[in-house]
Amino acid sequence: MGRVVVGVTVGLATVACAVAAVVVGGRMRSRGKWKRVVRVLREVEEGCESSVERLRQVVDAMAVEMHAGLASEGGSKLKMLLTYVHNLPDGTEKGTYYALDLGGTNFRVLRVHLHDQQSSVLEHEVERQAIPQHLMSSTSKDLFDFIASSLKEFIEKEGDGSELSMDRRRELGFTFSFPVKQTSVSSGILIKWTKGFSIVDMVGVDVPACLQEALIRTGLDVRVAALVNDTVGTLALGHYHDSDTVASVIIGTGTNACYLERVDAIIKCQGHLTSSGYMVVNMEWGNFWSSHLPRTSYDIDLDSESPNPNDQGFEKMISGMYLGDIVRRVILRMSLESDMFGHVSSKLNMPFTLRTPMMAAMHEDDSPDLREVARILRDILEIPDVPLKLRKVVVKVCDVVTRRAARLAAAGIVGILKKIGRDGSGGITSGRRSDVKMKRTVVAIEGGLYSSYTLFREYLHEALNEILGEDIAKHVILKVTEDGSGVGAALLAASHSFL
């Protein structure tokens, strides 16, 4: 009997040891998986590091590339396109002006009435209309006759007490969001179509001239006064409200910037004189590149798999089109390194499944259990039942990617200010001069990434203060504008109507 008891006891002990070994082994494997997740996170944090020293290197690189792009065509990754806009609206404009905004498969027509007062920009009417599919591959005559007819209908609705008559000449600002080589304030040659258009007879042709001919055929006495890029429209709108506005930045799905440059600093257009001595330069800064940009393996993979590899490098690190996909790629890497996220779903493997608005919603989820993070992981990426500590890791990834983007955008803005002597350095390469008197400097900003994403905006402002120092930064004001491509285009028609 004693032997049986001893045998049972020994057997139970053996089972207990085995169970303990399984538990300990499970814990060790779990810890190993967790360490792999943390290691990926640490690598991302290190790769995205944007110290103030590095940001100042980016500032200097941006200013250098701007100089190079102004010196010669093709001299820089920055195109530094001449817009021939040299007379920005300042609030003294008066009258009714029009805008046509053609940016994709829809177009808008606007009417803006100006009362010679900066605060009284009134949009009387805005209409949006789809472009029929067959016109996107038809002829230039067919497309612009359709647009001109729509504009005529829009103008004919004015009536009802309006002081305007159909026989009065009108001025129009034309926002055309396709690659164009601008040759004057109101003319530009189409380089190529994008966004699904393929009208062969328009490539290499003056786009505003095609519109002007269609307006004449329609019987409208409307002059195309300005060919406008949406970023330039944002600058015009900002300058109308505040004459200290010297630059504009769009940070939304895509990104770009433009600014007011001295004509004598634009070497590639020597001999071109303007009444103001200045010209707006469209930087196309999405294509900026520098070895000082904190690039990770995720950025390299995203770029190589994109339709435009080795192009728009800056845009791919800071704009809303790409931030969500960078986060998705990091989560995918964590899932492959460790099965803590469960089976790798097909959605997690699919590029651009996680859009930036969803990423921002996860980043700004302030619920104790991060329920919005759990919902997006489940519904968008098909990753169910993610434990809270992993949800916290996902939020951290969103934070790292967003913080880098905002800080680099801030460095880009300071690069512009440095080029025009508004960064407090007096034009020197590094450091600050105490004898430089700072002017009030306004930068107009448009785009949902800045206006709607609170943490992005806060990180951008924080970086501006770090780079410039508080004494200088207090003179730099970022002002949100809305609808530069519409209202801004009409304002440019007003400021160039008698030139």
280 and 68 Cβ atoms separated by less than 8 Å: no
The arithmetic mean of pLDDT across residues 5-27, rounded, is 43
Which ranges of 256-342 does DSSP label H, i.e. alpha helix? 297-304, 315-318, 323-337
Q: Cite the active site residues.
A: 108, 177, 230
Token output for 125: 């009417």
Predicted confidence (pLDDT) per residue in 27-84, tens digit: 555 677 899 999 999 999 999 999 999 999 999 999 999 999 999 998 899 999 999 9
Please report which helix (H) or strand (E) contains residue 28, including its range: helix 2-47
Q: State the pLDDT at residue 269.
A: 83
Give yes or no for residue 24 having a pLDDT over 50.
no
Confidence tier at 340 by pLDDT (50, 70, 90): confident
CB 125 within 8 A of CB 277: no
**Burial of 442: CB neighbours in 10 Å, binned 0-12, 13-18, 19+:** buried
Of residues 441 and 156, more confidently modeled: 441
pLDDT at 12: 43
pLDDT of residue 32: 79
- The pTM score is 0.89
Q: In what order do the strands lie in the sheet with 441-446?
A: 81-82, 278-282, 255-262, 245-251, 441-446, 476-480
Query: Residue 12 carries which side chain, given as an amino acid letter?
Result: L
pLDDT at 20: 40
| Structure-token pair, residue 236 | 């015009």
Residue with tokens 């919603």: 361
Q: What is the pLDDT of residues 212-238, one digit of tens each?
A: 999 999 999 999 999 999 999 999 999
Q: What is the mean pLDDT of residues 184-191?
A: 94
118 confidence band (pLDDT: 50, 70, 90): low
Q: What is the pLDDT of residues 457-478, one digit of tens each?
A: 999 999 999 999 999 999 999 9
* Both tokens assigned to 250: 């769009």
Q: For 441-468, what is the mean pLDDT?
A: 97
